Amino acid sequence: MKHQTVVAEGLQEDALHGWQAEASNGEYDEQALRQALQGPLLTRRLPGRLEEDFRRHARERAAGLLRLSVYGLILVYAVVSGAAALFTNEPGLKTWLLVAVLPVGLVLAMIWLATRLDDMERVVEPLLIGSVFVSILGCGAAALLLGEDLFAQIAAYETIYVLIIAFSILRLPLIKVSIASLCAFLIAAIIMLVIGQPVLWLDSLLYFFVPWSLCVVVGGMLEHSERRDYLQNELLALESLRLRELIQQSEQELARRTMQADYLQLIAGKPSLHALFQRTLGFLIERTGAQVGMAYLRTDDGMLQPMATWGASLVIGPGKKLTDADTASALVSPEDTLLGPVIAQRSLRQMTGLPQGYLAIRTGSQTVTPGAIIMAPVCQGDEVVAVIELGKLASFSRAHEDAVAAIATHFAYAVQAGARRSGGVGSGGEENRVPDASTTSRSTTGTAPA
């Protein structure tokens, strides 16, 4: 049985509410994940949105590390530069402080400011690539400019530290940070050539090009491992989600079958049509928490005959309310109710925005229009043999709609069997008295909610 939700502005208005299942942001196609795991993870982008999601994961990881370590980096920077400034008098001190230390200090200040942002992940990648470029440019220029000086060696070591942090700890995008760091050192070398400073290529090979090459290799291995771990974790999460869904579906199917078995046990013994409608309505009132209900038999000429009620009076059109005595012999046209579209489309609907007084909930002190009603046609093949209306102040859940749909087929067979046994239902007589399900449901369905 199809499920729809509509908003009633009049008796026949119906705006459909489609039931849509949306995949969560973290859910991927299993086949795409397996193909990505089998392919090259560094030389080819991951398929679909996997590449962007992995980069977002890497940015979040780098931002988290910086938030934890920025004060430690600042402390190390202050201790090293302060100790060098206080305890050495080498000629290259001022040059080192100006060319190597100052750019790194500015970089650390920018990183600290970025950690104050709530959305640091959005800027962390360009910020860190720029930081690597500026740091390598300053430290490389200081190492080349100072030549054989002590601070040239210190600046050379700093380039190695920056490379290790960038490639092995923060694990920035391999190609981008490789190009940025290499270009920064080459620009520093070009500047030295332009100003006439001799470049010690053998020394720079040892303190930059060899460490840079090793860091690129190690960084590639780490990124490959991280990409594989990311894909495997997503695949495991997807499989776990599928397993939970299967378990949930099995539990729902078990609950559905249990409910159907309870209903079949309730209507066993070939009850009369009125007893059948009465028990069915009471059963659904109990299972859905409805506060009002009506059950109709559809006659051969398409009219609706009320067969059972729960705390309701039949209303035909605006302001036309039948008394309990009239209800017993009433034949209602579907067009005089909200049931016309439901019967025509043979689909279960939940409707809100009801006309004032429709299927009203009667209490000791007042009469209240339901906040929502479920209208369920009971179909045998393409033929609607009965209709059930349930109402309550709050909306019905999807589980409540499923509960009504779960017994509809069994109810349809029972209605047809009961009609054949009784030879049809006419008007008048004791057999056609409309029982109130609220007066007898305790004996057939347990205690139903009032």
Residue 396 φ then ψ, to 5°: -85, 145
Name the nearest CA neighbour of 223 among 47, 66, 51, 30.
51
pLDDT of residue 222 exceeding 60, the answer is yes
Burial class (CB in 10 A: 0-12, 13-18, 19+), 21: exposed
Q: What is the pLDDT of residue 2?
A: 54
* Residue 357 CB partners (closer than 8 Å, separation 6+): 315, 319, 321, 367, 369
Average pLDDT in the 345-353 region?
A: 87
Q: Which of 81-95, 358-372, 419-433 has the lowest mean pLDDT?
A: 419-433
Position 386 confidence tier, pLDDT thresholds 50, 70, 90 = very high
Q: What angle do CA 404, 309, 361 make, to 5 degrees?
A: 90
* Residue 165 CB partners (closer than 8 Å, separation 6+): none
Q: What is the pLDDT of residue 440?
A: 40
pLDDT tens-digit readout, 227-249: 888 888 888 888 888 899 999 99
Q: What is the pLDDT of residue 246?
A: 92
- Determine the Cα–Cα distance for residues 240 and 149; give it in Å rounded to an integer: 60
Q: What is the pLDDT of residue 442?
A: 35
Q: What is the pLDDT of residue 22?
A: 33
Share of the chain above pLDDT 90, in %: 29
Q: Match 């230390």 to its residue by tokens.
A: 101
Which CATH fold would you assign to the domain 267-445?
A: Beta-Lactamase (3.30.450)
Position 3 confidence tier, pLDDT thresholds 50, 70, 90 = low
Q: Domains of the chain: which residue ranges?
A: 30-239, 267-445
pLDDT tens-digit readout, 13-27: 333 333 233 333 344
pLDDT of residue 73 exceeding 70, the answer is yes
Q: What is the pLDDT of residue 238?
A: 85
